[in-house]
């Protein structure tokens, strides 16, 4: 029987590989573990991880941050994000400067700013 067609795709009737011989056992073990762990257990573990990170444990910090905010981006996506943040920061700085200047010129704006 021919496993592949001339274009490289699998031929009709190809049974494929044997798959993962341990998949069934792993699924049963995962089910048992999920049944044994409660939300309270996860909360305790998370609090412990936070405490370890706060003491300076770099591995705990890395694990905590990667599981909560995700791994940092790299390459072009990161450069684009940095550029966007920089332009947002410049816009924010310009707005702050404009509001400060406006408050110096207008007693009404200064009074509003002091209340907030």
Task: For residue 60, give the nearest of 74, 73, 47 by alpha carbon.
Answer: 47
What string of pLDDT tens digits covers the 116 residues of the chain?
A: 567 888 888 888 787 777 888 999 999 999 999 999 999 999 999 999 999 999 998 999 989 988 888 776 665 665 666 566 666 666 666 666 666 666 555 565 555 555 54
How many residues are there in the chain? 116
104 Cβ contact list (under 8 Å, min separation 6) = 110
**Per-residue model confidence (pLDDT) at position 22:** 94
**Per-residue model confidence (pLDDT) at position 94:** 67
52 Cβ contact list (under 8 Å, min separation 6) = 60
**Per-residue model confidence (pLDDT) at position 79:** 62
Domain locations along the chain: 21-71, 73-116
């Amino acid at each position: 029987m021919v496993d592949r067609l001339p274009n490289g795709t699998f031929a009709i009737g190809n049974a494929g590989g044997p798959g993962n011989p341990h998949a069934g056992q792993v699924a049963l073990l995962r089910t048992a573990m999920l049944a044994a762990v409660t939300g309270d257990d996860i909360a305790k573990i998370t609090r412990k991880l936070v405490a370890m990170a706060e003491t300076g444990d770099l591995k705990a910090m890395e694990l905590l941050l990667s599981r909560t905010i995700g791994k940092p981006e790299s390459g072009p996506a990161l450069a684009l994000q940095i550029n966007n943040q920089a332009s947002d920061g410049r816009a924010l700085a310009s707005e702050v400067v404009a509001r400060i200047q406006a408050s110096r010129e207008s007693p009404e704006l200064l009074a509003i700013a002091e209340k907030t």
